[in-house]
Amino acid sequence: MKGSTFVSNFMEAYEVSHIFFIPVILPHALAEIDKNTNIKRIMPHSEKSAVYMADGYARASKKPGICMAQKVGAANIAAALKDPFLACSPVIAITGGPYTDSKNRNTYQEIDDLAMFKSVTKSSVRINDPKQLPESLRHAFRVSTTGKPGPSHIEIPGQLGEGIDLGEIEEDLIVEKEYFNIPAFRLTPENKIIEKMISKILESKKPIIVAGGGVKSSGAQKELLELSEKLSIPVATSLNGKDVFPGNHKLNVGVPGLYSNTSANKSILSSDLVIFIGSQTDSQLTLDWQVPRSGSKVIQIDIDPEEIGRHYPVEASAVGDAKATLNLINNKVDQINLSDRSAWISKIDEFKKDSKNEVEMMMISEDSPIRPEKLCKELSNLFPENSILVSDTGHSGIWSGTMVDFNSSSHQYIRAAGSLGWGFPASLGAKAANPDSPVFCFTGDGGFWYHLSEIETAVRWNLNSITIVNNNSSLNQEIGVNEKAYGGKLSHNHGDLWKFKETNFKNVAESLGAKGIRVENPKEISSAIEEAVDSNQPCVIDVVTDIYAFPPKPWLG
C-alpha cells in the first residue's frame, strides 16, 4: 500500500483520536485519515502549540499524543518537546527530513535537525526508506509507553514527508495493543525487597510519603490511599502528583519544595523516614535537596532504576511500577495500632493549621485588585466533578498547586514542567482528550500572551475549555530578580523588564469568537466561573489581580 494509507491505517489501529500538526506534512496521509477514519486533525498556529496540545492530550488521557510538522518547523517541535520530556509524557513527534541525495546542496533551510531531538526524547530516529516506517512507528509507541514514559521522535524523508506519503510499504500492519496506553507493563520487585521496605517503615515513628507523578502515571491512587490509612502515614505530593491523594484528607500535608505549602516542608523536615514513590527527587520538589536534608533516611520506589538513590542514599528501595509495588506492600502488611503514631499525626495537624492560618486572610480578602488566593479559594469551592485543571508554570503553578484543593478522585491536575505559555494550548489538548469533562486553564497574562492565537483554534474546533487569566499586567515573579539588579529599590525605572500594558482579555476573546468575562470585583468570581461552565463554549475569564501579590516563601526552618 501507499505510505499515506499505511499511516492512516496505523493511527486508526492504535486508537489515535487526534493529531496536532502544522502544515504541510504528510498531506496525502492526512487526506486518507479524513476520508477513512474518525481521527480529528487539529491545526493550531505554531509548532510549539501543536506539541503542547499533544502533551495535554497525552497527560489527560494516558495515551500517546501525536504531533507533526514539516522539516522547516522541526526545530520548533524540538524546542517544545522539552516540557513533555521533563514531565515524562508520552508524546510522539513526526517531522520531515532531508532526502539522501539533497544533503550538502543548500536545500531550503536544511540543517541537521535530528541532533536537536536527542536531549528531549527517549528515542529519536531518522528513516530514509518507507520500509522502515512500520517498525519505527511501533518502536515509538513502545518506547513512549514503557518504563518511565517520555517523548519519541521520527524524522521521515522529504521536506513534507513525501518520501513516506508517496512511497510503497509492503509490510502487513502489526498492532501491539499493550502500547496504546501507559503503563504498558507493570514491573514488580521481589518479595524480599518488599519485606525489607515494610520492616523499615514499621521501625519508623514519624514516616512520610512523598508521592510524585509516577503514582499518577501508574494509576496507583487507590493503593497509595490504602497504604497511607493502613499505616497512618502522612502524604506530601509533588505538583505533578497533586491529584493522587485527596486534598481534604487528614493525612494530606500538601506540596513540598519550592512551590510549596509550609505544612509539607515542615512535615518532611520533622520526619524520621521519607518514602519517595514515583518521584525524580528533583530540585524544585526538594528545594535544592534541602527538603529532606542530606543524610535523611529514605525509601524509594520508582520504575526507573537510574532514579533510585540518585540524590539521597536509600535504606531500602524497589524498582517497579507504583501500583503493583504498593499492592504487594498492602497485601503483606497489617493495620498498625494508630496510637503508635498518634503523636506524629498530632504534630502534622499543627503544621497544617499553621499553614492554613498563613494564607487564610488572603483567601477571604475582598480587596480590589483581587488577591490570587481569593481566586483559588473560589475555584476550589466551585470545581465541578470530573474536572481537569491545567496550570501554567511560575506563579500560576504556585497559586494553583498550593491553594486549589482537589477533594474528589474524579479531579485531575496537570501542570507545566517549566515552559511558560504551555498551559493554554495544553488545556485544549486535554479538552480534546476529554470532551465531556470541564477543563480549566489557570494562567497569568504573561503566560497567556505566548499562544493567545489559539483562542481561534479553540473556537474553530469547539474545544470548550475555560481559561482563567490571573491578570496583573506583568511578570511580577521577576520583580525580586530585577530589584536586586537595581540595588534593591523599586523606585528605579526597571518596570520595562517585567511590566505590560493593561489589556482587557474579555475583549480579545470576544474578537476571536470566544466568550469573554471580565472580573474586577472579588464578589463576581463565583458567578463568572458558573457562567463560564454553563456557556458550553470556549471562555476566557479575565481576573484583574494585585500586581504586588506574592505567595509565601518556601519554609526551611
pLDDT in tens, 211-232: 999 999 999 999 999 999 999 9
Q: Tell whether 553 is covered by a domain.
A: no
Whether the predicted pLDDT of 337 surpasses 70:
no
Q: Which residue, chain included where needed, has cell 486533525?
A: 41
Query: What CATH number does residue 245 fall under?
Result: 3.40.50.1220
Q: The whole model's pTM is what?
A: 0.97
Same domain, 8 and 127: yes
Q: Which of 294, 326, 350 is the last residue of a domain?
A: 350
DSSP character for 524?
G
Cβ–Cβ under 8 Å, residues 378 and 286: no
Q: Tell whether 557 is covered by a domain.
A: no
User: Residue range 138-153: average pLDDT?
Assistant: 98
Q: What is the mean pLDDT of the chain?
A: 96
* Percent of the chain surpassing pLDDT 70: 99
Same domain, 346 and 376: no
Q: How confident is the model at residue 400 (pLDDT cuts 50, 70, 90)?
A: very high
Same domain, 127 and 175: yes
Q: Which of 123, 152, 179 is the last residue of a domain?
A: 179
Backbone angles phi, psi at 391, to 5 degrees: -115, 140
Residue 293 neighbours by CB under 8 Å, 6+ apart: 269
Same domain, 292 and 196: yes
* Percent of the chain surpassing pLDDT 90: 92
Q: Tell whether 78 is covered by a domain.
A: yes
Q: Which of 317, 350, 383 is the last residue of a domain?
A: 350
Structural domain boundaries, residue 235 = 191-350
User: Residue range 413-428: average pLDDT?
Assistant: 98
* Angle 40-44-46 from CA coordinates, rounded to 5°: 140
Q: How confident is the model at residue 105 (pLDDT cuts 50, 70, 90)?
A: confident
Whether the predicted pLDDT of 335 surpasses 80:
no
Same domain, 456 and 420: yes
User: Residue range 411-432: average pLDDT?
Assistant: 97
CA neighbours closer than 13 Å in the CB half-sphere of residue 361 = 4
Query: What CATH number does residue 34 fall under?
Result: 3.40.50.970
Burial class for 114, CB neighbours closer than 10 Å (0-12, 13-18, 19+)? middle
Cβ–Cβ under 8 Å, residues 9 and 137: no
Q: How confident is the model at residue 339 (pLDDT cuts 50, 70, 90)?
A: low
Same domain, 135 and 64: yes
pLDDT for position 410: 93
DSSP H helical segments within 39-101, as ranges?
47-61, 74-80, 82-86
pLDDT for position 222: 98
Same domain, 236 and 381: no
Q: Tell whether 391 is covered by a domain.
A: yes
Q: Tell whether 501 is covered by a domain.
A: yes
Cell of 416: 507545566
Same domain, 221 and 334: yes
Q: Tell whether 414 is covered by a domain.
A: yes
How far is it, in rounded angstroms, from Cα 123 to Cα 330? 35
How far does CA 94 lie from the centroid of its chain? 21
Same domain, 257 and 370: no
Whether the predicted pLDDT of 338 surpasses 70:
no
Most confident of 321-330, 405-414, 489-498: 321-330
* pLDDT tens digits for range 507-531: 999 999 999 999 999 999 999 999 9
Q: Tell whether 355 is covered by a domain.
A: no
CA neighbours closer than 13 Å in the CB half-sphere of residue 37 = 24
Cell of 191: 518479595
Q: Tell whether 185 is covered by a domain.
A: no
Same domain, 325 and 208: yes
pLDDT for position 183: 97
Same domain, 52 and 112: yes
* pLDDT tens digits for range 258-311: 999 999 999 999 999 999 999 999 999 999 999 999 999 999 999 999 999 999
Same domain, 334 and 375: no
Number of structural domains found in the chain: 3
pLDDT for position 492: 67
